[in-house]
Structure 1
Amino acid sequence: MGKITLGTSREATQPDCIKALVVEFICTFLFVFAGVGSAMAADKGGASPILGLLFVGTTHAFVVAAMVAAGFSISGAHLNPAVTLGLAVGGHITVVRSFLYWIIQLLASSLASFSLNYVTGGMVTPIHSLAKGVDPIQGLVMEVILTFSLIFTIYTTLVDPKKGPLQTQGILLTGLVVGANIFAGGLFSGASMNPARSFGPALVSGNWTDHWIYWVGPLIGGGLGGLICDNFFIFNSHIPLSRDDEAF
């Protein structure tokens, strides 16, 4: 089983946690601003579906790598509730801090999406939704697989202590797998892999079509990824918190 650690409510007032939350907010905001902005720019430029997909996928690959590099040593730069869940399942972040990260990620995504709506003069904010001919179960399975791929990459290149020099490449590889997954699934499910990335645009546009898929799919993929990777690929010591530390 995973090594889930509850944590304590006192974490919210600890300086290192506050610093991590600020960095997580900034990195998530900039990621969503560039990611959603690239989709809006593709629409404004009249790009064909294939060219638009190439533009959006490449932008996401670049900005994910940049933001993970910027925030990794402070907050871990999750940028994504599914990543946070996957790491929580393996005991790499407490449940308490995970919920704080979720709140920050959703706030950052919302503010980035509202900012884009303002600076573009009220352009429609594109949401993640299923393509014509893709039913909800197909879209759900697609999101589970794509998110599992992301978590698998993060665990095996950034989390695994045995990887050594590969960890320095893990940041770039994380960005690349996001871009590759968008190329693979973008024209089918939208390839969100990230509930926060889907939440902000849906909130601003007021369009919640298929939105549940972009929570359920990534969270299942993230949870499964964390559970499988931590039990079959990662071998490190885990020291449980004392009863005093676990008390609220």
Structure 2
Amino acid sequence: MYWLLLGFGVLTGVTTVLFGFGGGFIVVPLLYTLLLALHGTQSEIGQAAMHIAVATSTCVMIFGTALATRRHLIAGTLRWDLIRPFLIYIAIGAVIGATAALNLNATWLRWAFIIYLILTILDSLFRPGFLHESQNNIRPMPPLQLASLGITIGGFAALLGVGGSVMTVPLMRRRGASMTSATAMANPLSLPMAISGTLTYMLLASRDAVSLGAWHIGYVDLAACLILVVGSWVGIRVAARWIGRIPDRIHAKIYIFLLCLVLGVMIVV
């Protein structure tokens, strides 16, 4: 199990730095499947497998997005003037989303994850802007739109443990960003969600007297989190050399392809 987690942690780091996602879309289905295989569906951990996967994924994202943000900062691909206004609203939305997730049945949470993926893929394929070559002329948003989108992004991301990239990358693409810029901005925008969401999963689960044994704080599996973070660090270091080198339209197509792969995994498991 541990070597598998380490390997997928590396993959998480690669997709985090190059595509703005990886924590949730890789960790959630992987950890969900492993927990069911190791503990069975009738055990306490098995029954909470989806919540553990989502909470642990959210915790892993704190480290992955922070490391990826640093790499993009070094590469000069971040637009702080566009990122900064989003941060507080995403953090607020994350608290709402994590609270909602703890009150949902695990099966419903899994299907919410699947439906969210399907809608994102269809939106990216058929709504104008995502697959077109971009000149990176990003159009800013008015304050009210910033607030509503930020809370929505933070809420859905924490609810499903996927980070905000699956919403922010298509959003920034439609507003004129290149894939390099869109994925670069997805990482710092996911950081407040990851911090707020993780604390909420820990505190609310503790309040509800959820006890899953050693190496758990609330629903967060600390052992799995540590291994995934180490792997993620390796993946980010390896992939950092490719920042800004992938052609824009190819970058966008690979992003959609990866979403389709994760969708297939979640439907099968």
Using CA pairs below 8 Å that are at least 6 residues apart, which structure has the higher relative contact order? 2
Question: Structure 1 length as normaliser, TM-score?
Answer: 0.35
Question: Structure 2 length as normaliser, TM-score?
Answer: 0.33
Between structures 1 and 2, the one with greater helix share: 2
